Amino acid sequence: MSKKIKVNQNLCIGCGACANLFPNIFKMKEDNKAEVISSELCEEDEKRDQEIIDICPVRAIEIEE
């Protein structure tokens, strides 16, 4: 089953950390919020999932199974 990464737009403060560290998963939009451009790296790697979640200082990144 594939997982889905999401950015909660209400929580994102636009710090850019996720896009800096994982530019193949996130990019910053014009309104300075992050958006997910690809979820594929998240498959079958729970440690990496946790790393991705932990990047965000405001816990705006969510991963759904």
Of 33, 34, 51, 30, residue with least CA distance to 42: 51
Using an 8 Å Cβ cutoff, are 39 and 7 in contact?
no
Among positions 14, 38, 43, 51, the unique one binding ligand SF4 when judged by CB under 6 A:
14
Q: C-alpha 38: how far from its chain's center?
A: 9
**15 forms part of the interface with ligand SF4 (CB under 6 A):** yes
Residue 56 binds ligand SF4, judged by CB under 6 A: yes
Of positions 5, 25, 34, 42, contacts ligand SF4 by CB under 6 A: 34
Report in angstroms how near the CB of residue 1 gets to ligand SF4 at its nearest.
24
